[in-house]
Amino acid sequence: MDGYHGGSRLPARQLRLALAQMNTHVGALDTNLARIVQFAEDAYAAGAQVVCFPELAIPGYPPEDLLLKPGFVEDNLAALARLTDKSAKWEDMTLIVGFADRDNDLYNAAAILRVS
């Protein structure tokens, strides 16, 4: 059944997916961001099209009481913004990155970053 894909005769396409298994450091936003950037660089060099990072990769898991500290969620959002800026060099690669978000409540969120 070579070339058979989901009930059609279209050739199967390949997706190069990288899973970034990393131990984050709770509250170490700059350290976590540097590790995310390094993983993304390595994945890009290996030809990955999508790289997935762990839950709460930016603030570290589990952030617990740090989420209640004034400014921590905003600092984590600023780190996400810096990652967004850095992602411009990884054309045609999608990053899925965990972070903490807030509006009326706190959220465990994932950002999808892509430059095409």
Q: How far is CA 14 from CA 5, 11, 50, 57, 108, in A?
A: 11, 10, 12, 27, 30
pLDDT of residue 1: 46
pTM: 0.87
Contact criterion met (CB below 8 Å) for 95 and 112:
yes
What's the pLDDT band for 7 if we cut at 50, 70, 90?
Answer: low
pLDDT at 4: 53
Tens digit of pLDDT for each residue in 47-103? 999 999 999 999 999 999 999 998 999 999 999 999 999 999 999 999 999 999 998
Burial letters 71-89, b for 16+ CB under 10 A, else e: ebbebbbebbeebeebbee
Query: How high is the pLDDT of residue 116?
Result: 80
Which token pair is 88?
């411009």
Tokens of 93: 């690669």
Q: Which fold has domain 17-114?
A: Nitrilase/N-carbamoyl-D-aminoacid amidohydrolase (3.60.110)
Q: What is the CA radius of gyration of the chain?
A: 17
Q: Give pLDDT, residue 91.
A: 93
Contact between 3 and 11 under an 8 Å Cβ cutoff? The reply is yes
- Cα-based distances in Å from 106 to 10, 15, 54, 72, 96: 44, 33, 18, 12, 19
